[in-house]
Every structure is written in structure tokens, then in C-alpha cells.
Structure 1
Amino acid sequence: MSTPRNAAWNALSTLPQQTLAQLFAADADRVAKLTGTLEVGEGSMLFDWSKTHLSDALLDGFEALAEASDFAEMRRRLFAGEVVNPTENRAAEHSALRGVGKDASVEEAAALRARMALLVDAIHDGALGEVKHLIHIGIGGSALGPALAVDALAREFAKVDVHVVSNIDGVALEDAFRACDPATTLVAVASKTFTTIETMTNAASALAWLEDNGVPDPLGRVIALTAYPEKAVEWGVDETRVLPFAESVGGRYSLWSSIGFPVAVAIGSAEFEEMLAGAAIMDLHFRDTDGRANLALRAAFADQYYTRLKGCQTRAVFCYDQRLALLPDYLQQLEMESNGKSVTADGEAVDFSTSPITWGGVGTDAQHAVFQLLHQGTNLVPVDFIACIAPGDDLDPAHHRILLTNCFAQGAALMAGGNMSADGQDPARAFPGDRPSATILLDDLDPTTLGALIAFHEHRTFANAVLMGINPFDQFGVELGKVMANRIEKGGESFDASTEALLKAAGLAG
């Protein structure tokens, strides 16, 4: 069936393709056109998309696609708190947690955040006794966001030692136990429904650890973070230590809610508020800026170009800052759980590639591991580089200079290519070049810029979904394996021959 979106895609597919070298040679203003700067707190963030293959003609075509996809209306619904998740008939109000959204939702979020701040401040003031450690138990969005933020910020702002545990593998929980003194440890249990089996099993083991080590009233050391507070109270948590959040906030977008409790405990309530303020700056930019000047939408234009028009199956993210080591993991869930779909929001099967596989690592480590494929492999992989001008360390400035030099050199080398042999003829030393990259350069990494960086990727993910006509806010694909695991746990039924053999080999059959 022909639709305005299909017509816009057909027009895009007929546009001429140019190399990066040709694009730069033809336009002396290319860097200025495809670089945007956003003032965030006391610094700024630079977004350079000039080393992608976006041309003026492609940008015109993608703006037409955005119009055909009703992007402006979908964005309005998002910020208005209207239904944007049709399969579950829900809004997606993560921006309201940051103060940008429907007035009633913003007010409710502010009240819940103030309640959380009172508890966090009481902990820091010693009202709950001496607290040196927090074990935060969650999984998926209830763990990835807090782990990223704590790892990125706690080195500078740490007030309490926070350990995030998500894996049901007991080794992960035992690692946290070894690092903590039970007498000075709190446990946060984060589950939207307060029924997630991995989280609740780990929580029960944490309670047993506290009890076995002589902690009186182990449940009194538990803070519950959930959209169903009554479930937490039924489980045994005192209602004064239950921090709710709205059901309209999806797990992978929940860092800004009470799921961010371990971040606030680690760095302080004021610093957590700064992180939300940074995200709100990006919210306002995304809400109020149209077309190619919209940083997240322009990034989505490039994403769609490489995934749908060039057939790229993956996108790589390399952070040239150790403090952002967990960002690729966080983005994997954000992007792949949101847009890894095979039907449109209307339930129709798609006939195109949707989300690419997101992967990445930390520079310069990754240069000595995977960049061989990026430079000379047969797969075209668009790359995002993320770096900070200010170092995160107090060592010899040579460390940070070499780090940044390598970051910028990799983008230049991917684009330029060349041959490293003496005569320029050795095919083993040939680099084809014309390989795309984008760079996000922060003045510094602090709570405000981290908040803006995460919000940028949230809106980029939403923009990609709108351009494809899919729903980024449901995630039924995570459920089938859970259902099968429950069936195996209950027993009494047969499975395929391979699964039966594996169960028998592990001693789980029967």
C-alpha cells in the first residue's frame, strides 16, 4: 500500500550518492552545516555529523520523510503525555520526570522526587545510622542506567559506595557482598512490578546475607523502587521506604525516576537534580527545534541512511573516556529493545531493516581489538566517537592529549583511507576510506552533561522509530524466553530434543 512515508522513502532511494571526500570538496561550509553546539550548564556539547554521508539533498529528503511520518505531531503527543505506545495504550512520560511534559505529570514527578531527596539526605545525614555501602538490585533498565551514571560520576562526587547487581548468577551478588560491610549496607530493590524473578531472588538472598551477618531487622535496611508500591509493602518493606514512580515510565527510560535513587545516594541529591536539568535542556531543544537543526533528529537521519539505504546491520559507539565505559551497554538496551521490531505501530509487517545492532567499547582499548574490521573489513559500520575536552584524571596531561589525539585521528583515518606501504601498492596495507563517523565532544563530563547526553540518545531513538513508523515503547520480545523458563521451572512438559538434552546434562530434567 502506497503511503506518504513510502513515497518519501522512494524519493530518498533515488538520490545520488557521494563519497565523503566529494562532499567536503564541494562544500566549504560543510562542517558548519553539520555541526551543532548545545549550551549545557557551565559548558557545551558539540555534535559533529559532517563525516557522515548526509548531503543537502539527502537532508531535504529526510525532512520530507519526517513530515510524511507526522514527526511533529508524534513529538507533540510525546511531550503532551498522550498515548504514544499504542500496543499497551500508554504514554511515555520520562521527560516529565525532568520537568518537561504535561503539567500534572511534571508536578507529580517533582513531588515524588522531593520525597526521594528527603530520604537520600537523611541517609547522608546519618538518620539511618552509618551507611557506607548500597547494594542496588535490579535488571535491565532498573540497573543499566544507574550503573552508567554511578560509574560515570561517582569518582568525583562519591558519598556512598554503590554496587549495582543485575545478574541472577550468584557470583555477581557475592562480589557485592565481599565489597560491603553488612552492618553499614543498605539494599535497594528496583522493579517496576516488584515481581521480576531475577531481582526478587537476588533481593531475598541479600536479606538472608544481612540476617546471617547479625543485622537486626534486615527489611529495615531495604529501600523499594517500584511503580507498584503495594507490592513492595506486601513483600515487607516499610511504606516510608518505598519510592514509587509512574507506570507511564518505561524501564529503559526510568533512570530519572526513583530508579535513580542509587545515583542520588552515590553523588548527592543536588547533583542528581543537575543531571535531570541537563536532560531537560536536551528535551527543550528536541521539542522546540525543527528539521535538520534538531540534533537528535539529524542523528536519526544518518541512522536511517546507513541502516535502510546502505544496508548497515550494526552501529558502533566508542567512548574515549573511561568514565563512559558503560554507555555502549546502556545504548544497546535503549536502542535495540526500543526499535528491534518487525511490525509497524499499526501491526503491519515491515519490509525493511529496523534497529541496527548497537555495540562498542572504550578507546584506546578498542583500537587494538576491533578497529581492524572498521578500517579494512567488509562490513560498513557507522561509528560514533564520544570524548571530553577536560580530563577525568589529575595525571600528566600527556595521558589525555594522547587519548583525544587518537579519537580524532580514528575519525580522520576512517574517512581518508590510503595505503601504508612504501610504494602505495600493497593491498594488505590498503584502507578504502569513505567510512563514516560522528563525534560528540563534551567540554566536561559532569551530572549536567551526562543527563543531556543520555536524553539526546533517548530522543534519537524516538526519532528513528517515528521515521520508521514503529512503536519504540513496548518490548514484548523480552517475554517469550521468560515464559519458557517458567515452564521449565514448573516441569511436567516436554521441549525440543536439544533443550531436553541440555536439561538432562545439567541435571535439571524431570
Structure 2
Amino acid sequence: MYNLSQSVTWKKLKHLAEQTADDRIADAFRDNPNRFDEMSLRLGGLFLDYSKNRVSPEILSSLIQLAEHSPLRQRRAQMFSGDIINVTEKRPVLHTALRNRGEDPVEVNGQDVMPEIRASLEKLKVFSEKVREGQWLGYSGKRIRHVVNIGIGGSDLGPNMVCRALLHHRHPELRFHFVSNVDGQHIHKILKPLNPETTLFIVSTKTFSTQETLLNANSAKTWFLENAPEGDADIAQHFVAVSTNQAAAMEFGIKRENIFEFWAWVGGRYSLWSSIGLPIALSIGYDGFIELLEGAYAMDQHFLHAPLDQNMPVILALIGIWYINFHGAETQAIIPYDQALHQLPAFLQQLDMESNGKSMDADGHPIDYATGPIVWGQTGSNGQHAFFQLLHQGTRFVPIDFIASLKSDEKTAEHHFALLTNMLAQANAFMNGDQDGDAQTHASCPGNRPSNVLLLDEMSPHNLGALIALYEHKVFVQGAIWNINSFDQWGVQLGKRLATEISGNIKRQSTDYDPSTQGLMAIVKHHLPSSKGRKKTVTNISAGKTKAGKA
């Protein structure tokens, strides 16, 4: 049985952590002037500098040994070949197949899934080109100018992040809006300035039963029908769905031909490569979407074939494990020095914390070591004037990933130069501290705070695809070494189930809950608006059915 914390390599790493506790990164550079060259990697338009970390060649060698003795190689091969590695849900994990640009088949239960994937891409191409070229018209004959994506979690975070990151590639006559929060103020604020004649809604929900998405979709439908002259008949030109539940989407009123398929083996947080990426294809064009897939595919091939000690995702994952398990790091900061990537920390929060926030191993045994970190962050240089104080002088140990793109346009060149130099200054300051100051004063910064620097040659679809895939595989590597299932999310399911139960029980003064919950339910019930004379949306969550009408 694989017992990570009792392994010889684990114990050796614990000893190394104690032995090197007072070592300084700056001293490692003085001892080895070639450290930057030896601890940096390039893949296409992506460059990683990991030299500013509290790791020596011996530590890195031991971490590689930890990976070699783990299930990593086996699970990596299983993931790419279509074997079941999501053991609790008995599913393969095939987001890599969605961006497979090679000719090799990928089989699930003996059947090659690539023809289905290619067919779904072709459907995406045809539809996105019609909308972008002004051939898909609304009920009044006007072209679509606004696209509203309604989803939550992976159906929102991935497409939202990518569309914002690639804003310079967006179609000039299309504007994109993303609705995720169940708070009605969110969707009503977005709908208020829109014209139903020129608005397209994408309802993205894997099962077509997610409460938040259905409530928002029904609100959008009600708003639309208040203006559409032909009522339900006009929905066909303004509502499409991305879902595995075709029947429920059709019952909502969406035509079969306007439903874009994806599959149960696509995890929500890995789904932007599928039809969930429809807003991306509409924004940057189908060719741009394919470039995004090709960038991820390039990283897939690197991850699959590069030696572990020259493998970007493996290196990032192992350095993370070193800090989490042997230095007590509880968080990981993601600091993009690029406004285009301002949604990236939120995207990586879900990717990492929903994947590796586990306390049970894949074999069903409780684990006795830390797993996924708390991922957080904000764009630089805003973060410098907010939380960097704690990072420089506080008592918390927080590893940092700095991310930036090198190319700017002429109009913003001066701003971009300031942005990049601020990032370089911060990475330097975190490593070196204030070497000229008195170590005993309030102004002193101790330094020796580690960071990685990731540079994109430019913010292109290809490079962004590679960056996202890099973090996906980093999370996978850590999960494999920790021997956890990175592809289920039972904690999320618990909250969904209880929300449905409380929604059904709140009006009958149920005593099935603890006194605190009962007391809060009573307060909420007292403040519920009267249903008399107001529009009401009835949602059958379990069946994935919706029905809008007068109460």
C-alpha cells in the first residue's frame, strides 16, 4: 500500500527541511552564479523562472524521487488513455482529449471519443461563425450584439477568465456578459441596459439542474418574453444551451439543434475546452479557440513526455509540496502583473481548491498530511498597496507566483514597462529583503520569501492555453503524489443538497435542523415577500425542469 508520510523519501525531506531552515535564497545565488539558467524552463511562448525558491539541488532531487515513487506516472498514463481515475464517480478524466490535436484515438470503454469531440467542435464552429458574421439574427432581423453567459463554477469561471484575458482579440461588434451569482441584483443589473432584439443567452449547466443557473435562466427568459412579440417562438433565436441533459434544455424551450453537447467525463473546472467554451469561440473566433486548444495540447505533450526534472507542471507541483508539507505553507498567492488576467486567481481558486481540498485518500483512508493550499490573489500593482505589507513583514509564510506578459501595444508601452519593473522589484525584494536597513527596526524586511515568475511572450490564445494547462497539470501532479482523487467534489454536492432541502422546508417551520439554523430560517421566512400578485418561478431541481408563469 502507498503510504506517503512513512516513506523513506518523505522522512528525508523532513530532515532536509530542518537542516536547511536558516538557508537563504540569496546565498544560493552567490554560491552558484548559474542558478537562474539551471532553474528556468521555456516551452514555446511560456517561460518559468523557479530559481527564487528555497530549494537546493539535493532538495529538488529528493522531491523528484518522491514523484518517482508515487502513483504519478501510472495515473498520468491512465488519464491520457481514458482509464477511470475518478474512482469515486467511476469516470475517466478526459479534458486532455478535448484539446487533442493529434491523430491518436482516445478510448472510453473501447470506443474512440475523438469523432464525437470533433463533431462538437464543428458545431461550435458553424454557430460561432454565423453569429460573428451577422448571419444569426434575432427575432426582429437584427444581428446579435450582446452575449449573456449564464452558468456558475466551471461553466462561468473558465470562459469568463479567458474572454477577459483575450479582450484585445474580441469581435468588435460583440459584447460579453457573465451571470453566475444567484443574487437577483446580478442578472437584473446586466439585463437592464440590453435590448432583447440583439441579445443571445447561453445557458451553461452540465445537468440542467443547477439551482443558481436555472433561477438566472428563468429570470432571463421572463425578461425576454416580456418583450418578444411571438413569445416562446422567439426563444429559438435568442437562447442556446450547453448541457449533457438535452431533454431538460428542450423543456426549457431551447431547440434541439441549439443545444451544444459535452460529456459526463468533463469536469466542470476543466470544461472550458469543451462546448462550455462557446463564449470564447464567439468572442475570439473559432480559429482563436483552436489556438487556445493547441496551446494546451503543447503543454499536454510536454507534461506527458518531458523528464520529471525538466517538466514545468511537475517542478511547480513539487515546489508547492515542499512548502505545503515541509514548511507549513497554508496558502498560495497568485499575482498577475497583467490586468487582462485579473480573473485568473478566481479561476485557479476553483481549479486547485475544488480538486485537492481533500482529507481522504483515493483508497478511502484518512490522510495525515496537508493537501491543497488556500489559493488567493489579485493583480499587481494593486496588491502592492493592499496585502503586500503582510507578505513582506508578516508572520505568515506565503509562496507567490508572479505572472506577466511581455508584449504591449504602443499606446500602453510606458504603463507596461512600469508594470513589469514593479513585478521584478517585488520578486527581488521578497528574496533579498532590505539588505541596507537595520534588521531590528520596524522598517526592516527580512526577505527570503520564495516566488516563481511566469512570463508569456504575449497574451495570445496559444500562450494562455498553455498557461491554463500548466496549472491543471500542476494540480494533478500534487493530487497524484498525495494519493487523492482530484476530480470529485462531494463537499460542493453537500451544500447543493442542503440548499434544496432548506428551500423546501423553510415555510413549514421544520424542526429537523439545529437551533441556530431553525432560528435563522424563521428570520428569513418572516422577511420573504408575499407571493400574492407577483411573478413566480417554480423550479424542480431534482428533475431539472423549469416552469415560469403567474402565481
Normalised by the shorter chain, which TM-score bucket? over 0.9
**Residues of 2 paired with 1:106 and 1:379: CA distance?**
47
**Residues of 2 paired with 1:89 and 1:199: CA distance?**
26
Contact 2:4 2:482 (C-alpha < 8 Å) held by counterparts? no
SS in 2 for 1:395: helix
Partner residue, 2:25: 20
Partner residue, 2:549: none
Q: Mark the CA change 1:218 to 1:6 in structure 2 (over 3 Å): closer, same or farther.
A: farther
Shift of 1:157: 2.5
Contact 1:245 1:257 (C-alpha < 8 Å) held by counterparts? yes
The correspondence of residues 493-504 of structure 1 with structure 2, limited to 5 A, is: 493-494=510-511, 495-504=513-522
Partner residue, 2:548: none
1:253 paired residue among 267, 270, 289:
270
**Residues of 2 paired with 1:396 and 1:455: CA distance?**
28
Q: Does residue 1:271 correspond to 2:288, yes or no?
A: yes
Partner residue, 1:507: 525
SS in 1 for 2:241: strand
Cα shift readout 1:24-77 (whole Å, capped 9, x = no counterpart): 2222221112100011xxxx1110111111221111111111111121111100
Q: Mark the CA change 1:247 to 1:215 in structure 2 (over 3 Å): closer, same or farther.
A: farther
Q: Mark the CA change 1:396 to 1:184 in structure 2 (over 3 Å): closer, same or farther.
A: closer
Please, which moves more after superposition, 399-408 or 492-501? 492-501
Contact 1:79 1:102 (C-alpha < 8 Å) held by counterparts? no
TM-score normalized with structure 2 length? 0.88
Partner residue, 2:3: 3
Partner residue, 1:189: 203
1:136 paired residue among 131, 135, 149:
149
Please, which moves more after superposition, 470-479 or 217-226? 217-226
Shift of 1:405: 0.4
Partner residue, 2:473: 459
**Residues of 2 paired with 1:157 and 1:405: CA distance?**
28
Letter in 1 for 2:6: N
Q: How many percent of aligned residue pairs carry the same amino acid?
A: 38
Please, which moves more after superposition, 28-37 or 437-446? 28-37
Shift of 1:3: 3.4
2:168 paired residue among 143, 155, 180:
155
Partner residue, 1:485: 499
Q: Which runs of 5 or more residues in structure 2 are unaligned?
A: 107-111, 138-142, 529-551
The correspondence of residues 235-250 of structure 1 with structure 2, limited to 5 A, is: 235-250=252-267
Cα shift readout 1:294-325 (whole Å, capped 9, x = no counterpart): 10000000100010000011000000000000
Contact 1:5 1:65 (C-alpha < 8 Å) held by counterparts? no
The correspondence of residues 45-64 of structure 1 with structure 2, limited to 5 A, is: 45-64=46-65
Shift of 1:509: 8.6
TM-score normalized with structure 1 length? 0.95
Shift of 1:176: 1.5
**Residues of 2 paired with 1:152 and 1:178: CA distance?**
25
Cα shift readout 1:74-128 (whole Å, capped 9, x = no counterpart): 1100100111110011111001000167432233211111111111112223332
**Residues of 2 paired with 1:11 and 1:57: CA distance?**
10
**Residues of 1 paired with 2:383 and 2:32: CA distance?**
32
SS in 2 for 1:14: helix
**Residues of 2 paired with 1:81 and 1:102: CA distance?**
10
Partner residue, 2:98: 97
Letter in 1 for 2:62: G
Shift of 1:237: 1.2
Q: Does residue 1:381 correspond to 2:381, yes or no?
A: no
SS in 2 for 1:427: coil
Please, which moves more after superposition, 322-331 or 412-421? 412-421
SS in 1 for 2:372: coil
The correspondence of residues 177-256 of structure 1 with structure 2, limited to 5 A, is: 177-214=191-228, 216=230, 217-220=233-236, 221-256=238-273
Q: Does residue 1:397 correspond to 2:398, yes or no?
A: no
**Residues of 2 paired with 1:269 and 1:368: CA distance?**
39
Partner residue, 2:279: 262
CA RMSD of aligned residues (A): 1.7
Cα shift readout 1:416-437 (whole Å, capped 9, x = no counterpart): 012665xx35521011110000
SS in 1 for 2:272: coil
